[in-house]
Amino acid sequence: MRILVTGGAGFIGSNLVHALVGAHEVGVIDDLSCGSPENIHPASWFRTLDILDPSLGAVVAEFGPDAVIHLAAQASVTESIKDPARDRAVNVEGTRAVARAAAAAGARRLVSASSAAVYGEPAELPLAETSPKSPANPYGASKLAAESALADELAGTGADFASFRFSNVFGPRQDWRGEGGVVAIFTAAMSAGEPPTVFGDGKQTRDFIYVGDVVAACLEALLAEGRLADEGVDGPAYNVSTGRETSVDQLVAHLRAATGYGGPVDHAAAREGDVARSALDPAKARTGFGWAARSPLDSAIGATARWFAGRT
């Protein structure tokens, strides 16, 4: 199969590309604004390109994918608050452009990265795909609108499609700089013997999922025999998650064990747009295409810590 990965030089994308190469022909489009050149697999077809570039359609057609995994995005909540117009352009219009290009090139299936942020502050947990959506920040709003843009472009084209609502993904190759994900930021700090900074009281929870499980979800969805875009409200959406809440305090305890850090933990005020609790029910993905997260949190954090230790 010829599989194109947008954002394939980034955190999730590069892990996916490395898993695909050898079994499939893999193409990567990445503008390298967040992705790293060192993440590009030498056996992959690669083009440096912004997904909003007018030449996107021609570049996608040049590769000629059978399937597309769309991971390129503006992924920072903080940046979405600073510049919501740019956030919406990349996440909504960028997704629309990728979907249009994929359909024009004859791709039979497209999986697009969405986010737990579409739900906002939950009324009950774990959240199902049909739970109310009330995004707490422009990032969540743009990811929800991107799901509609994907459906608008691909419904009726014959191409199958789905939006994967990732919970909090962590693992090797995640960037700890800026807003790179709390596990990466904490692991980098604690591996260097520096105190991590907890925003809020540490009781807030997230559904942490290992990147290897996310890669497995993408692979299993690509090879699924049935259609992903089932009928009904939120039909093409799937939670990719563990269904379990882990508090930031619990995360710190896991990381202390993994890194050997015994120092203090700093605290700062809670950040604008952060929800207090989050966990997503992954049952639909299990029923729909046979996927379930299988990585225990402690061993996944251990693997992540070992990767970071090898980088210092």
Q: Is 177 a residue whose pLDDT tops 90?
A: no
- So what's the pLDDT on residue 230? 76
Question: In CATH terms, is domain 2-169+209-240 a member of 3.40.50.720?
Answer: yes
Which percentage of the chain shows pLDDT scores above 70?
97
Residue type, 115: S
Per-residue pLDDT reduced to its tens digit, 229-279: 976 656 699 999 999 999 999 999 999 999 999 999 999 999 887 889 999
Locate the domains of the chain by residue range: 2-169+209-240, 171-206+244-280+295-309
Helices 56-63 and 94-104, axial angle in degrees (round to 10): 40
Q: 126 preceded by cis ω (within 30°)?
A: yes
> pLDDT at residue 179 above 70?
no
CATH number of 171-206+244-280+295-309: 3.90.25.10
For 92-137, the pLDDT digits (tens) are 999 999 999 999 999 999 999 999 999 999 989 999 999 999 999 9
Catalytic residue, candidates 119, 139, 210, 238 = 139
At 123 the pLDDT is 84
Q: How far apart are CA 14 and CA 40, in angstroms?
A: 7
The distance of Cα 43 from the centroid of its chain, to the nearest Å, equals 23
139 is catalytic: yes
The answer to whether the CB of 151 falls within 8 A of the CB of 254 is no
Cα–Cα nearest to 77, from 169, 176, 180: 180
Closest CA relative to residue 69, chosen from 150, 7, 127, 125: 7
Closest CA to 281 of 198, 183, 207, 184: 207
Residue 310 and residue 192 in contact, taking contact as beta carbons nearer than 8 Å: no
Q: Please name the residue ranges forming H helices in 155-289.
A: 182-191, 211-223, 248-259, 283-289
pLDDT at 178: 58
Q: For position 78, what pLDDT does the model report?
A: 87
Give the mean model confidence (pLDDT) for residues 198-206.
95
Task: Tell me what pLDDT residue 234 has.
Answer: 67
Where does the pLDDT of residue 150 fall: very low under 50, low under 70, confident under 90, or very high at 90 and above? Answer: very high
Name the token pair of 258.
Answer: 């993994």
pLDDT at 213 over 80: yes
Q: What is the pLDDT of residues 5-55, one digit of tens each?
A: 999 999 999 999 999 999 999 999 999 999 999 999 999 999 999 999 999
CB-side exposure of 177: number of CA atoms within 13 Å?
Answer: 3
Q: Over the chain, what is the mean pLDDT?
A: 95
Instruction: Decide if pLDDT at 207 tops 80.
Output: yes
